[in-house]
Amino acid sequence: MKKVLITGSQGYLGSVLTEYLDIHGHDCVGFDIGFFKSTLLYPAPNTKTVFRDARDITESDLENIDVLVHLASISNDPMGKLNADLIYNPTRVYAFEIAKMCKKLGVRFIFASSCSIYGLGQDELLTEDSEVHPQTGYSRNKLEVEQDLRKISDKNFSPIALRFATVFGHSPRIRFDVVINMLTGMAMANKQIVLNSDGKAWRPNLHIQDVCKAVKCAIEFDYSGGELMVLNVGSDENNLQIIDIAKIIQRSIPGCDLKFLSENPDLDKEGLIQDRKIKSGGGDTRTYKVSFKKIINELPGFSKCDWSVEDGVNDMASKFEEIGFNSKLFKQTGYYRLQQLEFLYENRFISDDLRWIKNQPEL
C-alpha cells in the first residue's frame, strides 16, 4: 500500500481516481481548491480532502507521503478578460515548487501531462520523441512543466510524466467540454449531435478508467532511471477523427441527427458548445495521431487500454439513463470548465489570480 497525495482531487479525473486507488489498496488524501466541489452529476466518493490551493502546499503536508500525483491545473484556456500569463505562470511555478519539495523529501512525483502538446501532425503516429507544437496556453503549460521536471531529475529524483490522450467517460464531476462527453451528452439530452468544427481533425482518446489504471501502474512502479520518464497514455485504436466519433455515438444512441455549428450558430445559444480555438468555417488546427507503444513496453502492469470509444460511449449512455439525464443537466455551467471559471470570476467569487474572495456558491 502506498500513501498517495492527489492535487486537483475534486476535478473530473480526481473524483474517479481517488476512489479507484482506494479500491486497489492505496491510501489517498486529496488537495483541491474547490472550484468544482458543488457541480455533481451524481454522488462522489467520500475521499479525505484538504480544501486548499496547491500553491499553499508545504513540506509538512508531504510528511509520510510516498507518491504525489499532480493533477491540479487550469484545464482550459483562460477567459478573455485575463492574460494567459496570469493564469498559467502560477500553475507552472507551483508545480515546480511541489516537485522540488518532493525531491527534498524523497516523495515520488507523477505529473498529469497531455498529448495536446503535439498540437499538429500529419498522418504519422507521434511518439514521445516527436517534435511538439503546442497550440494553446494549456498545452504550452504542460510542456513547460515537463521541461522544469527534466531540470531537477537525477538519480535521487525520477518523476514520470503521463501524457494523457483526450479523456472521456463519466465522472461525478463530469466535463462536457471534452469531445466525446460533449457529443454523448447532447445525443442523450437533445437527440442531436452538433459539431463545433468540420469534424476532420484527429484526436487520440482515452477512457477515464484507463487513466486510473495508468496512474496506479505508475504509483506501483519504483522507477529510478535518473531522468524524467515521458509516456503517452492511450491506444492506437482510439485515434479517431471527430466525425467518426460522432458516427459511433449515432450508432450507440439511435435517432440522433448530426449537425454543424458553422451552418447554424443558433444551435448553441448558451455558448457552451462553441470552441473559441476553432476558426470560422469549422477548421481546427489541433489535429494529431499518437503512438502508444512505449507505455506498453516500459510501464509494468499496463499491457493495454481496456476501453474502446464505443464501449465508453455505451457505458456513459447507460449511466446517463440511470440518473435521468436531461437537457437542463447538460447545460449546467459547472460541467464546462471555462464557463465555470468565468462565472466565478465575473461574480467576484475569485480574484484575478484565481483565489477565493468569498465563499463558493451552491450551484
Q: What is the pLDDT of residues 203-251, one digit of tens each?
A: 999 999 999 999 999 999 999 999 999 999 999 999 999 999 999 999 9
Query: For a pLDDT cut of 70, what percent of the chain falls above it?
Result: 91
The confidence band for 278, taking pLDDT boundaries of 50, 70 and 90, is low
**pLDDT computed for residue 64 by the predictor:** 96
The confidence band for 80, taking pLDDT boundaries of 50, 70 and 90, is low
Q: What single string gives the DSSP state of each residue in 63-128? A: TT-SEEEE--S--SPPPTTS-HHHHHHHHHHHHHHHHHHHHHHT-EEEEEEEGGGS-EEEEEEE-T
Whole domain around residue 125: which residue ranges? Answer: 3-174+204-237+288-307
pLDDT tens digit sequence for 90-144: 899 999 999 999 999 999 999 999 999 999 887 789 999 999 999 888 999 999 9
In a domain, 297, yes or no: yes
134-148, 195-209, 245-259, 262-276: least confidently modelled range: 262-276
Q: What is the CATH number of the domain that holds 64?
A: 3.40.50.720
In a domain, 358, yes or no: no
Cell of 11: 476535478
Q: Which residue has the higher pLDDT, 115 or 74?
A: 115
- Which residues are CB-neighbours of 149 under 8 A, at least 6 positions away? 96, 99, 109, 111, 159, 161, 228
In a domain, 43, yes or no: yes
Quote the mean pLDDT of the chain: 91
In a domain, 254, yes or no: no
Provide mean pLDDT across the span 31-38: 93
**pLDDT computed for residue 284 by the predictor:** 64
The confidence band for 50, taking pLDDT boundaries of 50, 70 and 90, is very high
What is d(CA 345, CA 127) in angstroms, rounded to the nearest whole number?
A: 38
In a domain, 343, yes or no: no
In a domain, 301, yes or no: yes
Is residue 77 over pLDDT 70?
A: no
14-18, 229-233, 345-349: least confidently modelled range: 345-349
What is d(CA 343, CA 328) in angstroms, rounded to the nearest whole number?
A: 17
Cell of 275: 470552441
In a domain, 317, yes or no: no
What is d(CA 240, CA 47) in angstroms, rounded to the nearest whole number?
A: 34
Does the predicted model carry a pTM greater than 0.85?
Answer: yes
The amino acid occupying position 52 is R
The confidence band for 89, taking pLDDT boundaries of 50, 70 and 90, is confident
The confidence band for 85, taking pLDDT boundaries of 50, 70 and 90, is confident
Is residue 44 over pLDDT 70?
A: yes
In a domain, 111, yes or no: yes
Cell of 166: 483526450
pLDDT tens digit sequence for 292-323: 999 999 999 999 999 999 999 999 999 999 99
Question: Into how many domains does the chain fold?
Answer: 1
Is residue 273 over pLDDT 80?
A: no
